Amino acid sequence: MEGIPYTVSARRDTGLYNAKLGVWLFLASEVMLFGGLFSAYVFLRLGAPEGTWPLGKLDWVPGFINTGVLIFSSITVILAWTALKLREWKKFQMWMGITLVCAVGFMCIKAYEYNKKFNHYGLFIKETAIEKYAPELLAAHAHVVYHPNSRTYEITGHVKNGAVLQEITALNELIDQEPTAELREKYTQQLDGLKIKLAVDEPPNIPGHPHENPLEELQAQEKAEIERNVERYDIEEARGSVATGHDDHPVVAISQGDIWRSGYFFPSYNSFFAIYYTMTGLHALHVIGGSIVLGYFLFFGAKLYRQNPEHQANRVEVGGLFWHLVDLVWIFLFPILYLL
Amino acid sequence: MEDPHASTSSPSTGTVGAGGHSAEHGHDDHGHDHSHSGNFWSTYVFSTDHKMIGMQYMFTSLIFLLVGFILILMMRYQLAYPGQPLTMERLSVNVSTSFANAGGYTWAWLNGRADAFEPEAFPETSTAPSAEDTAYKEQVRSLLDIALPSGWAASPGQLAQSAEATQARLQEMAASAGDDAVTQKVVADARGLIDNFAAQIAEPAAHLATLRAKLAETEAADASDATGNAELAGVITQVAEAQYEVNAITGYFSTHMGLLQFAPIPLTQQLFGYVQMPGGVMAPDFYNSLGAMHGTIMVFLAIVPLGFAAFGNYVMPLQIGAPDMCFPKLNMASYWIYLMGGIVGFMSFFVPGGAAKSGWTSYSPLASTADLPANFPVWLQWWPDALTGQSLWLIGLILLITSSLLGSVNFIATAIQLRCKGMTWMRLPFFCWCMFVTAFLLLLAFPPLEAAAIMQLMDRVAGTSFFLPTGLVVNGEPQTISGGGAPLLWQHLFWFLGHPEVYVLLLPAVGCVTEIIATNTRKPIWGYKSLVASVLVLGFLSFIVWAHHMYLTGMGTVVSTFFQATTIIISIPSVIIVTALLISLWGGSLRFNTPMLFATAFLPMFGIGGLTGIPLAFNATDLYLHDTYYVIAHFHYVVAPGIMFGLFGGVYHWYPKMFGRLMNEFWGKVHFWGSFVTINLVFMPMFLQGMSGMHRRWYDGGASWDLAKDVVYWNEVISISAFFLLLFQIPFILNVFLSLKWGPKTNNNPWHATTLEWSTPTPAGHGNFTEPPVVDKGPYEYSVPGMDEDFCPQNAVVAKAKGGQDLSPANV
């Protein structure tokens, strides 16, 4: 019996060649894969206590540019396919080349965004210690978020004294290894005394989400106490003492002992960054995989094109369908991560 | 693997059942370019031929089936004889005691004195070690105290002192040993280790002392403005590293000194290590590993690959008249990725901490936090997170999902695109319908679990909290994780796969049973159209019943009402399928050969499994039964005597097509009757245990729980039956392998069946058919009135004979 039929030409009753059907099925499966992650996003976001889901943590400009880049590359991949259908190899090379440049550009912008987040720091101040820092933070117009589950106040910014982070890591490691109790105690005290200097972020300006500083609420609740200790909450005076740092953002110093948890904006920082890195990382893997396939068609497709141009066109069509899915996923990712 | 094609380079020319088509054919008159060079690797190993891949899947999954079964047998031993070491000697003593007790009880009961019967106790176990063992351990421990004094690390001088003292003590012991075998052995065992320790620790300890001095200096010089000092941080890091090295060496030696033992080491400890099988007695964690890995291996590595991948790959393209699968290379990739996934999963038994132990469902937060290297002994903390048991389980699962994705795309595309001329949808054999629906379930239900697996892997490796709630406490330690995750999310994503997975297991078996019943009753399947409709409805409904696995999570009444309703609705198509198959038996000329025995046994066994599921579909009764042995019995009745019997039948049924030889009937029947009796003895008592409230995850089998005291003795019956069930698989294993060479040779269509796979040469060559088949009738044209033979193959050209009437009827 002959080889496998319908590898290039369509079967009459289905109107499809094998690979086209195959890729649509694959796309269905991909939709379910990302569907699982999108539902996880919804689940986590709805489960977060009110007001604690981070908003405005991502700069929408590079994300918006990336959306444009991907949409544009979806158009060029169709043009590449059209060129093959018209048997214009040079034009195919041009359009497919542009598609690949777009893919590389997308990845570069993504890398720039990741890198920016990897240098952003945040810390959670214990509720019991917040009074110490309240005047300073109010004076600095810091963006403060209260987390009822862990009973902590979160502030974010850029670390001004990187050496202290090294020392914190080193001390933590030593305390874990230290066999004698007295030395453990000594190093723990040393650790708690260290201070992280943070050039704090200001509240993001998000339409429809006016920022409510939990410290002001705290202040109102304890008005009587404030009146007794005027100087402790004297914002004007505190403002004078706050130094400015990164981009003229005010700097506050927080003792390690008063911090529940801290870290750069890695996946482990909070649920938002966990889902952000997981989804965009998986999407980036798809971009890389798609570019490898499309690049193979561009750089190694000439021979097949000479032998069977329709087969080559079909391959590009199938690859293009996948590329559109990659684009489509991003079109959903962009608003839920950057805008909403 | 045995070479199935070797004996048939000139294939059989039998034309029975091939209708008007000639089966005369050589391997070289068809179109494929590869696999003809006779190259061993491309023909038998990295083959892209769907039949070879099907056989690879079959053998691999049968091996995994055996492995999964042996794991649960180890577990059953622990349940029947809790705390006893697992050695052949103890096994035989325990089993004979059980038999003596059973006989004694029966005798007493016959004499009306059952109440007064006192069972004979099992012999004392290793929990009371011998006097020599105790003495040996004590001496080793006293040496350990001298060699590794507390606080020693602070000063190298102290270290040298303790080394000297140890040597002195050793010499003293050697001198006073005399004929004392224990002391002699202690000296012999310990000397090497202690010398080795002294040699390895000297340099790191000296280095540590130097660094500590330097640290004191730097601290004094540091202005300590509490804002961090990079130089100081560097020194502290060095001290921590040096301290870590010293701790690791000490930890390693103290552990290994502790592991020294006097008694001979049982085989099970040698295989699985001291931590998992100390002295041959199963550790609780290892018990959990066995349960989790049994479920995982059976579901993902044994039954799905056997039913869907092996039979689907081998049979479906033949039945639809295709030359191969749509994407042969993807097909090969699917097999090799599956094998990789299986090996990754199985190897996790041999990493520190052992294999995954959070159940085959891997519920978080247990699964997200189990066996993290941070909780390992200090000398093992360097072990990467990604290589711990649960992480390997997840990586293996991701590989398996990728494999099943490639497979399911291939199956659907093949069924849609490569049906031969005249093979309309309603002429498809029912087996192909089952495969078609199964492939859709795999395609759409598996990816959400892949998403979940990626997230759990992120939880374990990247420290995220997808499934970890805020304020999580593990082993009494509050976790400094971000929290905010949802353990329920894992359950939803898991069971969104998990329930369709049940039908992925079931449908291939139903397909096999249908083919076998049609062939061996010599009459058309009853209600072909309702079967097709049922399987489609079943496939759809299986996506919206998943939360009935989660009633215990305390879901609200609205949600649980929805899932109770869908769960009851899904039983309708299932009952239609079983009923149609049952009615198919009515009035047939039944041939009870081995495949038919398995297929007919499938019906009542699956029926028991299905009907006992109804109480579990209702929230009210499920709350009581869910965590008991009742659930185990319920789903094992579906899977073991149900699905597995269907698949065994499939092996016996298609074996002659695969290898051109029949399997031995006598040993096949021994396999069937032995398995049938023992498997019911295994699972039927579990219903009793479960309804009495016996929890399904008790490590000691319920021995110490008051609730279970009236039913705990069934554990012995179950476990002994399970051992015999293993014995009855030996005829099958031998039958499969020995028949490759010594089975009686057969023609193309030994069963006189109608579907297309029986009109190919046997075994079919590359490209399957000698010429493209043309189909003009339904799949089950048996006993057509007026025909000479009692079967009419789908591609047979039926003469308009006997009164000029066209005898080929329309669809069944």
* pLDDT, tens only, B376-415: 888 888 899 999 999 999 999 999 999 999 999 999 999 9
Tell me which residue in A4, A167, A268 faces B463 most closely, judged by beta carbons. A268
- Alpha carbon of A4 to those of A19, B668, B766, B795: distances in Å? 12, 37, 11, 20
| pLDDT band at B584; cut points 50, 70, 90 | very high
b/e sequence A54-89, b meaning 16+ C-beta within 10 Å: bbbbbeeeebeebbebbeebbebbbbbbbbbeeeeb
**Chain A partners of B443 at a C-beta cutoff of 8 Å?**
25, 28-29, 32
**Would you call B323 and A1 a contact, using CB atoms and an 8 Å cutoff?**
yes
Q: Quick one: pLDDT at residue B261?
A: 74
Identify the residue whose tokens are 């209702």.
Answer: B618
- Neighbour tally for B82: CB within 10 Å: 21
pLDDT (mean) for B201-226: 81
Q: Give first-to-last CA distance, chain A, whole Å.
A: 58
CA atoms within 13 A on the CB side of B154: 9
Dist CA B598 CA B271 (whole Å)? 35
| pLDDT band at B132; cut points 50, 70, 90 | confident
**Would you call B465 and A36 a contact, using CB atoms and an 8 Å cutoff?**
no
pLDDT (mean) for B704-720: 89
Q: Quick one: pLDDT at residue B554?
A: 85
DSSP state at residue B524: P
Both tokens assigned to A79: 């043009």
B726 touches chain A (CB under 8 A): no
pLDDT digits (tens, 9 = 90+) for A282-312: 999 999 999 999 999 999 999 999 999 999 9
**Residue B743: alpha-carbon gap to chain centroid:** 30
Q: Which amino acid is at A75?
A: I
Q: Quick one: pLDDT at residue B201?
A: 83
Q: For chain B, what percent of residues have pLDDT higher than 70?
A: 91
Dist CA B508 CA B435 (whole Å)? 6
Q: Are B410 and B326 in contact (CB under 8 A)?
A: yes
Q: Quick one: pLDDT at residue B400?
A: 96
Dist CA B104 CA B508 (whole Å)? 45
Tell me how close the Cα of A90 comes to any Cα of chain B, in angstroms. Answer: 30
Three-state secondary-structure class, residue A75: helix
Q: Give first-to-last CA distance, chain B, whole Å.
A: 40
Tell me how close the Cα of A117 comes to any Cα of chain B, in angstroms. Answer: 16
DSSP A82-144: HHHHTT-HHHHHHHHHHHHHHHHHHHHHHHHHHHHHHT-EEEEEEGGGHHHHHHHHHHTT---
Dist CA B464 CA A269 (whole Å)? 7
Dist CA A200 CA A120 (whole Å)? 10
Q: Quick one: pLDDT at residue B786?
A: 84
Q: Which amino acid is at A5?
A: P
| pLDDT band at A244; cut points 50, 70, 90 | low
Instruction: Answer yes or no: is pLDDT of B801 > 70.
Output: no
pLDDT digits (tens, 9 = 90+) for B252-288: 887 777 777 777 788 888 888 888 888 888 999 999 9
| pLDDT band at B799; cut points 50, 70, 90 | low
User: Of the given ranges (A102-111, B94-103, B181-190), which has the lowest mean pLDDT?
Assistant: B181-190
Dist CA B469 CA B479 (whole Å)? 10
Q: Quick one: pLDDT at residue B315?
A: 96
Q: Quick one: pLDDT at residue B16?
A: 38
Tell me how close the Cα of B633 comes to any Cα of chain A, in angstroms. Answer: 31
B812 closest CA partner among B339, B268, B429: B429
- Alpha carbon of B715 to those of B624, B640, B685, B696: distances in Å? 21, 18, 8, 12
Instruction: Answer yes or no: is pLDDT of A233 > 80.
Output: no
pLDDT (mean) for B475-480: 86
pLDDT digits (tens, 9 = 90+) for A47-69: 998 888 998 889 999 999 999 99
- Radius of gyration for the alpha carbons in chain B, expressed in angstroms and rounded: 32
- Alpha carbon of B192 to those of B113, B164, B252: distances in Å? 61, 15, 14
Instruction: Answer yes or no: is pLDDT of B297 > 90.
Output: yes
Phi and psi at B695, nearest 5°, equal: -70, 150
**Would you call A22 and B233 a contact, using CB atoms and an 8 Å cutoff?**
no
**Would you call B470 and A149 a contact, using CB atoms and an 8 Å cutoff?**
yes
Q: Quick one: pLDDT at residue B19?
A: 38
**Chain B partners of A16 at a C-beta cutoff of 8 Å?**
416-417
| pLDDT band at B130; cut points 50, 70, 90 | confident
Identify the residue whose tokens are 């083919």.
Answer: B515
B458 touches chain A (CB under 8 A): yes
Both tokens assigned to B351: 């990493």
- Neighbour tally for B291: CB within 10 Å: 21
Q: Are B398 and B454 in contact (CB under 8 A)?
A: yes
pLDDT digits (tens, 9 = 90+) for B397-408: 999 999 999 999
Dist CA A276 CA A265 (whole Å)? 11
Dist CA B367 CA B812 (whole Å)? 51
Dist CA B115 CA B110 (whole Å)? 11
pLDDT digits (tens, 9 = 90+) for A123-173: 999 989 888 888 888 888 889 999 988 899 999 999 988 888 988 989 988
Across A12-16, A232-236, B157-161, the highest mean pLDDT is recorded for A12-16
Instruction: Answer yes or no: is pLDDT of B208 > 90.
Output: no
Instruction: Answer yes or no: is pLDDT of B148 > 60.
Output: yes
| pLDDT band at B38; cut points 50, 70, 90 | low
Instruction: Answer yes or no: is pLDDT of B126 > 80.
Output: no
- Average pLDDT score over chain A: 89
Tell me which residue in B443, B462, B484 faces A44 most closely, judged by beta carbons. B484
B416 touches chain A (CB under 8 A): yes
pLDDT digits (tens, 9 = 90+) for A175-217: 888 878 888 898 899 888 888 989 988 888 877 777 778 888 7
Dist CA A219 CA A134 (whole Å)? 9
Dist CA B228 CA B648 (whole Å)? 69
Instruction: Answer yes or no: is pLDDT of A243 > 70.
Output: no
**Would you call B455 and A25 a contact, using CB atoms and an 8 Å cutoff?**
no
Dist CA A165 CA A246 (whole Å)? 17
B483 closest CA partner among A93, A154, A244, A303: A154
Q: Quick one: pLDDT at residue A60?
A: 92
Q: Quick one: pLDDT at residue B224?
A: 59
Dist CA A28 CA A310 (whole Å)? 25
Both tokens assigned to B262: 């006097």
B485 touches chain A (CB under 8 A): yes
**Would you call A26 and B405 a contact, using CB atoms and an 8 Å cutoff?**
yes
- Average pLDDT score over chain B: 87
Instruction: Answer yes or no: is pLDDT of B489 > 70.
Output: yes
Instruction: Answer yes or no: is pLDDT of B642 > 80.
Output: yes
DSSP state at residue A202: P
**Chain A partners of B410 at a C-beta cutoff of 8 Å?**
22
- Radius of gyration for the alpha carbons in chain A, expressed in angstroms and rounded: 27
Instruction: Answer yes or no: is pLDDT of B300 > 50.
Output: yes
Instruction: Answer yes or no: is pLDDT of B6 > 80.
Output: no
Q: Quick one: pLDDT at residue A115?
A: 96
B377 closest CA partner among B492, B254, B285: B254
Contacts for A75-81: CB closer than 8 Å, 24+ residues apart: A76/A102, A77/A294, A77/A316, A77/A319, A77/A320, A77/A323, A77/A324, A78/A320, A80/A316, A80/A320, A81/A313, A81/A316, A81/A317, A81/A320
**Would you call A278 and B455 a contact, using CB atoms and an 8 Å cutoff?**
yes
Residue B598 vs residue A192, higher pLDDT: B598
Q: Are A58 and A276 in contact (CB under 8 A)?
A: yes
Q: Which amino acid is at B578?
A: V
Tell me which residue in B417, B454, B496 faces A6 most closely, judged by beta carbons. B417
pTM for the model: 0.91
pLDDT digits (tens, 9 = 90+) for B495-528: 999 999 999 999 999 999 999 999 999 999 999 9
pLDDT (mean) for B285-311: 95
